[in-house]
Structure 1
Amino acid sequence: MRILLIEDEPKMTSYLRKGLTEASYTVYIADNGEDGLFLALNEDFDLVVLDIMLPGIDGLKVLKELRKQKETPVLLLTARDTVDDKVEGLEAGADDYLSKPFAYAELLARIRSLLRRAPRAVKDILRIGDLEVDLIKRRVRRGDARLELTAQEFALLQLLAERQGEVLTRQFITSQIWDMNFDSDTNVVDAAVKRLRAKIDNTYSNKLLHTVRGMGYVLEDRS
């Protein structure tokens, strides 16, 4: 998923970009209100994380202008934490509000909550190269061959296919498929990927499921 972070503090920007990237989000950065508003209006994002205190156009102005054209979910970040400040932000169109300083775990939980609530375009059939994933019939084909997957293998493939081209970390995969905290001593993800790869890739010359060393896994057609 694509997140636009509009924040002018370099240390905060670096910290959040690193954390969100490790959580398998694609993060775009703007360090002022004008650039942030331009990106928010002209690109498609799943979420905007918006600081209120910005140079040039402040965050509330950015939010009000964005709401004239788009309903992209917006999470406000600010050091201003009075009730009046929160009310002003929510009435301007924010979907959630988080005061600085904050715990990263809370920010990530709020982001995930907003993304779950946001409407998403859902395709019935996902295609990557000659691989076809039918989400309604829960069938998988590669070329003319039908592939038999377990429920867990199908769930893993669906996650990778819905985010094709994105590198998904092991931590993110475990949180989505097994609903558990990642334990670096376990190989549950690696073992699951190995089983899935044996069915969708091993007998085909064009490999679709790739390992990105030190990061995770990505499903994409590199032919």
Structure 2
Amino acid sequence: MKNDRKKHLLLVDDSNLTQITIKKILELEGYIVDVSVSAEDALNQIKSRDIPYDLIITDIHLPQRDGFYIIDTLKSNKEYSIHKSTPIMILSADATSTTVRRAVEKGAKEYLNKPFTTKELISRIKKLLLDTEESLYSLLIECLNEEIERAKRGEYELSLVIASREFSEGILIEEVVKEIKRELRKVDTVIELGKSTLALVLPFTNLNGANVVVNKIKANLNEKWYFGITNFPNECQTVEELYRLAKQRINNKINKEINEKEQNKEEMKK
């Protein structure tokens, strides 16, 4: 049976403008939102609940105690044991790699830099509340369907890029996303499909343009990634076709690489 219970979120931020803006955005999306202005206030609200929040969204820099204190308390204090597994999302203007890594290591599930767009905020929250690979794929499908409809109305092209990392372990995927976004426009979307796979949705972009973007991204990544690029409407007409072809192109590149290595081994034996 489908669970139609509205998701209940806690927003922790000492900026009145941020509180009002984010609360309004999330309520329009159907979420119930409580607001706290400090770590102590947030912990009191959390402690008073018999049912954990579905998600806690907090700034790092708060009066007196910071956002890390909230994470540490929930993870280590037995009085908050039922809230220990509540996912936590950081919203902060502090975008240094040290701070991001510290937040993730302490247990934050997501890190979104200020300023951010409404689209980015909603996408990240949906990803956190849908934590299975199938659900993340559904999020991509939803995004692509919306972008294809816009492309049809505006009569323009869009490209989908699927990026797959050679090894699942390595640099935190959040840091990879941060690097990739430096090469993207505000209209572009990045969706994490797991620890080693990303999807890039690029409106107003043909295949040549998408290849330019991918080459710029490759130059900034220290790890080996495989990229599959597809285009609407010139190559594919549906979301499923776009995704399937992009994945197939990645598989083709991997298989070609494996075959070349095998051939080199055979030649060395001769």
The correspondence for 1:101, drawn from 115, 129, 136, is 115
Letter in 1 for 2:12: I
Moved over 4 A (4+): 179-183
Structure 2 counterpart of 1:52, from 33, 54, 60: 60
Aligned residues: 125
Call closer, same or farther: CA 1:31–1:22 in 2, change over 3 Å. same
Deviation for aligned residue 1:24: 0.3
> In structure 1, how many angstroms separate the alpha carbons of the residues matched to 2:13 and 2:23?
11
Q: 2:99 & 2:58 partners in 1: Cα distance?
A: 14
1:77-125, CA deviations, whole angstroms, 9 ceiling, x for partnerless residues?
A: 111101101001111110010111111210110000000118xxxxxxx
Shift of 1:180: 5.2
Taking the aligned partners of 1:115 and 1:41, their CA distance within structure 2 comes to 21
Letter in 1 for 2:62: L
Q: Give CA-to-partner distance per residue, 1:102-159, whole Å, 9 cap, x none.
A: 11210110000000118xxxxxxxxxxxxxxxxxxxxxxxxxxxxxxxxxxxxxxxxx
Larger radius of gyration between Structure 1 and Structure 2: 2
1:79-94 mapped onto 2 (5 Å cutoff): 79-94=93-108
Where does the alignment leave 5 or more consecutive residues of structure 2 unmatched? 1-6, 133-141, 151-270
Query: Which residue number corresponds to residue 36 of structure 1?
Result: 42
Task: Look up the match of 1:65.
Answer: 73
Matches of 1:103 and 1:25, distance apart in 2: 18
Higher helix fraction (1 or 2): 2
Report % sequence identity.
31
Q: Does 2:29 correspond to 1:23? A: yes
Query: What is the RMSD computed on CA atoms of the aligned residues?
Result: 2.2
Higher relative contact order (CA 8 A, sep 6+): 1
Contact 1:41/1:66, CA 8 A, preserved across alignment: no
Q: TM-score when scaled to structure 1?
A: 0.52
